[in-house]
Structure 1
Amino acid sequence: MKNHALVYITFASILFFGSCSSQSDIPEEEAEPLQEGTYVLTANQFKSSNMELGIFEMASFHQVVKAIGKFDVPPENNAAVSSYFSGTIKDIRLLPGEKVKKGQKLFTLENPDFVQIQQDYLEAKGQLTYLKSDYERQKNLAQDNVTSQKNYLKAESDYIVTNVKAESLAKKLQLMNIDPNSLSLENIRSTIQINSPIEGYVTQVHAMRGKFLNPSETAISIVDTDHMHLELNVFEKDLSKIQKGQPIVFKIQEDDSKEYEAFVYLVNKVVDPENRTIGIHGHLSDEKITERFNPGMYVEAEIYATTATKISLPQDALVDIDGEFYVLVLKHFSKNEYTFMKRKVKTRLSNEGNVEILNHQEFSEGAQFLVKGAFNIITD
């Protein structure tokens, strides 16, 4: 986001000894002030102090909005695994952090009531064949006026009621992960298997073997980290600066030396009445790095609200004296010395490496500045 274009001038072969020093009677290690705000350096001083020259450069400056928050996943990527039916946990072998696949067996529930549901379904299914045959027979007889309407309606009612009962029991069996089509007298069982609804990682295990699990009581929590995102908060006063698509640079508490990139995906429309903050939903620029993070990780972020390109100088070129900024501009140089003039500059925006110079037009085109070492000279 920065566009450095420093111009460096080195004089590796221009070194003066003896005569240069005796001419001014000033040691080589010190700059010589000729008049107020003017400084002369020898070529040897310039080189030995690793000083550098540079010119005005165009740099990007951002209006930054500070934000804090955490990593999170979409609601559909969180699963609280429970059962529609109560029962005693017979078998469970899971630990937090373990990865599970969608449809994988998590634990087994046991309850005698499961047997009764399967029995009721098989009985209803067995009656349907006879009731359907009787219903069709009574229907034909009623059409020929051979039987009474009452017998026909009763046969119809018995068939419909039993059919509804069988269908509802089949739905229950499906919720129990039992296939009604393959259920028979030989494979009735007292246990049901609870499977994982998503692929992800086990975050919490609330159950244990022998525990009685009530309906809808959470036994296991699972999270899918494939679509990790940022949930940030900014103060209400900064809301007008935030727009969808703006860049986000963030750091994690575990390693604040490394920066990562994201962008604003959604801006909440409701203000938190207690903290007066707005929620910002951010997506990572590189989804491949999500494996480095975990849901709940604390995040410190900066949202680049606006970006502007301005004429600037490197930060090291400016010296702060009582709240005012000065630079050293090169006025003259020969093969053995540099002459600098101290000049005041007006500044506004700044980033990590550059400062905007407002009065850049007061300097000549191509002006060169001491961008490394100015502080030691001016404050000496």
Structure 2
Amino acid sequence: MKYQILLLGFLSVLWSNCSNQKMEDQMDAHAHEVDDHLEMAEEEVILTNVQIKNIGLTYDKIKSRSIRSTVELTGRIELPPSGKAVVGSALEGKIEEVYVAAGQKVVKGQRLFALQNLDIIDWQQQLSEQKAALVYLEKDLARQQELAQQQLAPKKNYEAAQSKFSQTVARIKALDKKLEDIGIRSDTLRYTSRFYVTAPQAGIIQHLLVSTGEYVTRATPLADILNNKNLHLHLLAFGEQIGKLEEGQLLNFYVQSRPDRILQAKIFWINEMVDTEDNSYDVHAEIVGDVSLLSPGEFVEARVIDQERLVNTLPSEAITSDKGLYYIFAVEGADESSIHFSKVQVNRGVSDLGYVEILPIDDIPDGSDIAVEGAFFIMAQSKKGEEGTGHHH
């Protein structure tokens, strides 16, 4: 009898332990179900009909639209070294006349300054004397050559005549070159001390640096000429922008001081080496059309025009952001007093004219209604829900 009582006690304890373990397992399973429900609830936002009316909520569907992608760039109008000329004189002298003023248009070869140098008269006199001497030396050279061939005179006489003739020819060429450099032709000598400085290229006189009566040297800058035909855009691209650019692309731009005047340019060179100081890339574009009203150094804003393509889009107001990620809210269901929204993460693509390309990360059922006006209110409610129970009304 004693052993029967002990056996019954042991079985009772064993049964109690098994029951407790089963209850704990059931509680754990229930806890997991609650956690799963909370995780699902964090992706769902519920708005009452009153809230929806108050915020003026509107909807749209993801639709295919033809959209242009654009890249916005900034930079300046630039003039390459070949577009600017510093006017100088090939000979020192005193300025007698100035024929132009700052801001004036000039053509290549146009007279800009008249200078005086008395050495020019000496050069012309020397040239005349050397040309006269050459006539005699040429005849003497022929005579000495004939005598040497007939062995009637030493050969060294012929060689001496040949040397004098060559030296005189060299002097004439040097004097010709000196006069030619200052615009005086040796075949029309008039024994003048005046010479002219002409424009080396067409353009606009940017700066006039001297005045009448000044004495200048060959190192003295007289004026600056800008040729606006060589103006181009020097733009800066950053990060992923460089992958959307290519040579030959057209872009629209405007000068910051005249935003109402839209001009065009064409990209002709992209420097693919990044500037390590600001992580930028140099982009150069040739200006298309009239450049007469543009000036070097002016700040510009430009938009590169890409080809149209068909993409899935939503109005830009439908896309919200949180901690660097983008979300939209799709209608998941509704009852008499509220509407349930599903929070869906997406990526943004190109944008144009108020629409943005949608690149879903999670599946979105076809034809889903997406919150547009009021989407930011839903995002705010979603964040409140995350701070609380994950389920917010």
Q: Considering the TM-score relative to the shorter chain, is it more than 0.5? A: yes
Name structure 2 gaps, 5 residues minimum: 1-44, 382-393
Letter in 2 for 1:88: K
2:210 pairs with one of 202, 207, 211: 207
- In structure 2, the residue matched to 1:346 is 345
Tell me, in whole angstroms, the C-alpha distance in 1 between the residues paired with 2:94 and 2:360: 79
- Matched with 2:160 is 154
Q: Distance in 2 between matches of 1:236 and 1:318?
A: 23
Deviation sequence 1:357-376 (CA, Å, 0-9, x none):
223984554566676x5569
Match of 2:84 among 78, 94, 104: 78
Alignment partner, residue 311 of structure 1: 312
Q: TM-score when scaled to structure 2?
A: 0.68
Match of 2:63 in 1: 56
Quick one: which amino acid aligns to residue 224 of structure 2? S
Counterpart-to-counterpart distance in 2, 1:191 and 1:297? 41
For 2:186 and 2:59, the matched residues in 1 are separated by: 82
Q: CA deviation at 1:228?
A: 1.6
Determine which of 111, 134, 140 is the counterpart of 2:146: 140
Distance 1:301 1:366, change over 3 A: same
**Unmatched 5+ stretches in structure 1:** 1-34, 333-338
| Superposed displacement of residue 162, structure 1 | 0.5
Cα distance in 2, alignment partners of residues 110 and 253 from structure 1: 46
**What is the 5 A alignment of 1:236-251?**
243-245=246-248, 248=251, 250-251=253-254
Indicate whether 1:355 and 2:362 are aligned. no
| Superposed counterparts of 1:279-358, under 5 Å | 279-284=282-287, 287-301=288-302, 310-318=311-319, 325-326=327-328, 342=341, 344-349=343-348, 351-352=351-352, 353-358=354-359
Q: Which amino acid aligns with 2:229?
A: D
More helix by share: 2
CA distance in 2, matches of 1:180, 1:215: 22
Partner Cα distance (1:180, 1:223) in 2:
32
Identity %: 27
Q: Aligned residue pairs: how many?
A: 328
Task: Specify the code of the residue in structure 1 equivalent to 2:294.
Answer: F
CA change 1:307–1:368 in 2 (3 A) is same
Q: 1:279, CA displacement in angstroms?
A: 3.7
- Of the three residues 191, 195, 198, the one matched with 1:192 is 195
Match in the other structure for 1:103: 109
Amino acid at match of 2:346: T
Q: Which amino acid aligns with 1:99?
A: K
Q: Which has the larger radius of gyration?
A: 2
Q: Distance in 2 between matches of 1:123 and 1:74?
A: 47
Are 2:269 and 1:266 equivalent residues in the alignment?
Answer: yes
The more displaced of 266-275 and 345-354 is: 266-275
CA distance in 1: counterparts of 2:256 and 2:375, whole angstroms: 34
Seen in structure 2, the aligned counterparts of structure 1 residues 263 and 151 have a Cα distance that, compared at 3 Å, is: same
CA-atom RMSD in angstroms: 4.2
